[in-house]
Structure 1
Amino acid sequence: MLSSTSIKLYVFVLIILVSLFNLNVYAYGFDLDCRGVVKRVVDGDTIYVYVDKVFDQKFKDFLNQEIKVRFADINAPELDTYEGVQAKIFLDHVLKNYSYIVYLDIDDIYIYGKYGRVIAVVYVEYNDTHLLNINLFLVSKGYAEIRDYENQFNPLYWRLYVEKPFNSFSKNTLNSVNNKVQTEKKIIDNHEIYNKLFVVVIITISSIILWFILKKLVK
């Protein structure tokens, strides 16, 4: 019969294995689905965007349409609070600095949230080579907090500044942009497959070690 110490050890290792299994390990990746102009800032995490360019045909129906966008996986204070008003003012100020032009990485799994808003990570063109992740920027400045909702995104792997997936937004046609975005997606998918295999290998090795440990403890 296992001793109290053995049982605690078993539970501890089991927790580690479960954590490894549920760990979403993958190389950071993103793709840009649309570009648009912000028409209105609703609050600290919601905006209206007029889409003037689509990079992924999946979202072609958004072209020349105004969509309501909810910033993915963050939550700003409600507007009926002082903090909420300040968050809205700050967001509007930031977007104004970038001429209200934004790039959207839309949730490929659900697209819309439960209130009918498009769920997206919002970027602005920080310079010639990099984009600024506005979702994470709001969190870093204390105007919002991370809320990891159910969607394709994982805030744990967000970066504040990311390299553009292509050199110039203005000089690429829709087809060339789509080709580059699809290439980016394939690279990300391959990383995800390799990392999932790595997790499986780690779990298998850990299970074997656990089996040997328990076998010796039972003796």
Structure 2
Amino acid sequence: MKNNWKWIVFTFILLTLVVVGFIIIVSPLIKINKIKSCSDFPTRVDRVIDGDTFELCSGEKVRLLCVDTPERGKPGYEDAKLFLEDLILNREVYLNTSNYDVETIDKYGRLLAWVYIENDLGEKILVNKYLLEEGYGDILIIPPETCNEVAD
């Protein structure tokens, strides 16, 4: 009888570990699918949170890769946020998460992405780089990412 209880407890613990491991592995994929279901790239920006983070129509938060803008309460915060709002709020953006070596989702659950918009001529503009060129933020390099796309 004692051996049966040990076996039941062992099986329960093992199954719990398998389920938790599965959830940890699959949850980032679910978030990416949620974004694609919004409008399957391009997608619309519903809210700008700060100078380097915004929210899509799906509710998913996106962080501009390789960009660091001032935090709330710091000099330049409002200017960076307003600049990004003018650039992308209620517009379609194109997200690229496939050409870099870092994790797709950061520790805060935000999608890390290169973000593009189209100008009046139909040319794609890299928002990450444009924001830096206009002086609203600094390059943020987190290895293994090299940020070559914005370093020129």
> What are the ranges of 5 or more consecutive residues in structure 1 without an aligned counterpart?
1-32, 51-64, 161-219
Q: SS at the partner of 1:142?
A: coil
> How many residue pairs are counted as aligned between the two chains?
111
Q: Which of 124, 144, 149 does residue 131 from structure 1 map onto?
A: 124
Q: Distance in 2 between matches of 1:40 and 1:77?
A: 18
Work out the CA distance in 2 between the residues paired with 1:82 and 1:92.
Answer: 17
Partner residue in 2 for 1:105: 96
User: 2:66, 2:150 within 8 Å by CA — same for their partners in 1?
Assistant: no
* 1:1-56 per-position Cα deviation (integer Å, ceiling 9, x unaligned): xxxxxxxxxxxxxxxxxxxxxxxxxxxxxxxx832111110000000012xxxxxx
CA RMSD across the alignment: 2.3
Structure 1: 4+ residue segments shifted above 6 A: none
TM-score normalised over the length of structure 2: 0.64
**1:70 CA drift (Å):** 0.5
Higher radius of gyration, 1 or 2: 1
Structure 2 residues not aligned, in runs of 5+:
1-39
TM-score (norm 1): 0.46
Describe how 1:115-130 pairs up with structure 2 within 5 A: 115-130=108-123
Alignment partner of 1:39: what SS?
Answer: strand
Q: Paired residue for 2:46? A: 39
**Inter-partner Cα distance in structure 2 for 1:150 and 1:39:** 30
CA deviations on 1:123-162 (whole Å, 9 max, x unpaired) are 10124442010001110011011011236x53224489xx
Residue aligning to 2:79 = 86
Aligned residues with identical type, % of pairs: 30
CA contact (8 A) 2:128 2:150 kept: no
